């Protein structure tokens, strides 16, 4: 696959009764930016069980990126740098399409894939920038893990040899209001994702 000087970011549409999703909003703030000659392109991912696999393949084929960073809404106080994608769908809540898979394999493939993002270097750099971040060994078993698994499966099957992975971002302050849960401002989340791009470009 021919590689162009682009970094693909994806974020999810709102779900669970919320009207916003910080993942796609933060990605949109980076859309069109250039990081040392690499342009950031952004695509929104629907939280629809049967559509995710085909769409991530479509987006990668469309942009032919040199790196892919998929993002989703998490519930913690940090940017969670996910390390492992599981071949498992086991949803506690329904997808936006109403589907609620239980103990289903995502693909006829390996039990798990590891990220190819340099997560330890990214983690160290984010800490230098005073942006809350941590390494995570589980992206759950819902839509975020599903996207992560399909992405890494694609990278492996097509022998793309690119940096790719998944990052969970915290709720926005307005989402966390009166919920006794952590949040992060949209600007800080976007800054963190831009730092990620800077670290990726160093290794392309």
Which active-site residues does the annotation give?
A: 82, 144, 168
Cα gap 22→189, rounded to integer Å: 8
Beta bridge mates, 68: 8, 164
Q: Residue 80: phi, psi to the nearest 5?
A: -90, 115
Helix locations, the chain, DSSP H:
22-30, 52-63, 119-128, 143-157, 173-176, 186-202
Cα gap 116→15, rounded to integer Å: 28
**Are 107 and 156 spatial neighbours (Cβ–Cβ below 8 Å)?**
no
Starting at the edge strand that comes first in sequence, how are the strands of the sheet with 6-12 ordered?
34-35, 38-45, 6-12, 67-73, 163-169, 79-82, 133-136
Cα gap 30→166, rounded to integer Å: 16
Beta carbons within 10 angstroms of residue 197's beta carbon = 21
The pair of three-digit structure tokens given for residue 70, joined into one six-digit string: 């998929």
Cα gap 185→53, rounded to integer Å: 30
């Amino acid at each position: 696959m021919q590689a162009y000087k682009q970094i693909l970011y994806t974020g999810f549409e709102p779900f669970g009764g919320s009207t916003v999703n910080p993942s796609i909003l933060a990605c949109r703030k980076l859309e069109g930016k250039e990081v040392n000659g690499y342009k950031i392109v952004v695509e929104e991912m629907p939280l629809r069980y049967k559509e995710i696999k085909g769409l991530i393949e479509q987006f990668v084929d469309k942009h032919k990126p040199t790196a892919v960073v998929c993002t989703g809404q998490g519930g913690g106080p940090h940017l969670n740098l996910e390390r492992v994608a599981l071949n498992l769908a086991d949803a506690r809540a329904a997808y936006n399409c109403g589907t609620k898979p239980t103990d289903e394999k995502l693909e006829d493939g390996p039990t798990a894939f590891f990220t190819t993002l340099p997560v330890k270097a990214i983690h160290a750099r984010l800490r230098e920038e005073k942006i809350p971040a941590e390494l995570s060994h589980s992206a759950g078993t819902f839509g975020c893990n599903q996207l992560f698994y399909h992405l890494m499966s694609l990278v492996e099957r097509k022998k793309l040899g690119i940096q790719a992975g998944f990052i969970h971002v915290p709720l926005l302050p307005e989402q966390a209001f009166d919920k006794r849960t952590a949040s992060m401002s949209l600007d800080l989340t976007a800054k963190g994702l831009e730092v990620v791009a800077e670290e990726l470009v160093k290794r392309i």
